[in-house]
Amino acid sequence: MNDRQRLKEILLEKSYRKGTFTLSSGRESDFYIDVKQTSLDAEGALLCGRLIHKLILEHPEEIGAVGGMTLGADPLVTATSIASFLEGSHPIPAFIVRKEAKGHGTGQFIEGQQNMPAGCKVTLLEYVITTGGTLLQVIDRVEAQGFQVVQIISVVDRQEGGAEVLKEKGFRLEALFTRSQLLAP
């Protein structure tokens, strides 16, 4: 079994639930994918990190850092950064975007900037994409600090318009799994 197949098994076992749920977008859904349950599992984190790192290596531009919005992206960016280090060719530092600016010290939105080359090209990670609203906020905050968003990767694309919203803004979404791929037998 390859990494992708095994990650799919773990996602279905630990993260996928049927029922009635209210999503962060406010929409109601008959299923929920809590990727954090997988990305906080040792094997799940390792597989997410490896597969995301592989997509980063396929990108034509050199990526200077990988980051995303706290809390969902925290384990993903850490796993991806560690996978890049273990790969040995080009370790990629991680960064986290806060929901609110730090209320003390430097008052910054982005943690980890000291590890990032100034003005570098970055990959943003998201655990699940529904409408894309959270990512648009992250993009604005990252670009306001002088970094260039050149790649966006999600573990799961719910296929509910988020990819299209990002495309309208000039960004292409790459997903380890779409909803239909995840739920296909």
* pLDDT for the residue numbered 89: 77
Token pair in block for residue 10:
């773990």
Name the pTM for this structure. Answer: 0.95
Q: DSSP letters of 49-112?
A: HHHHHHHHHHSSSPP-EEEEETTTTHHHHHHHHHHHHHH-S----EEEE-SS--SSTT--SEE-
Domain layout of the chain by residue ranges: 3-183
* Preceding peptide of 76 cis, ω within 30°: no
CA pseudo-torsion sign 182, 81, 44, 73 = negative
Which residues are CB-neighbours of 72 under 8 A, at least 6 positions away?
35, 36, 126, 127, 128
Q: What is the pLDDT of residues 93-142, one digit of tens each?
A: 999 999 888 776 677 899 999 999 999 999 999 999 999 999 999 999 99
Q: What is the pLDDT of residues 130-143, one digit of tens each?
A: 999 999 999 999 99
Token pair in block for residue 22:
């209210």
* pLDDT for the residue numbered 26: 85
Inter-helix orientation angle 42-58/74-87, to 10°: 70
Assign domain 3-183 to a CATH class. Answer: alpha beta
Token pair in block for residue 88:
């040995």
- Determine the longest span between alpha carbons in the chain, in angstroms: 51
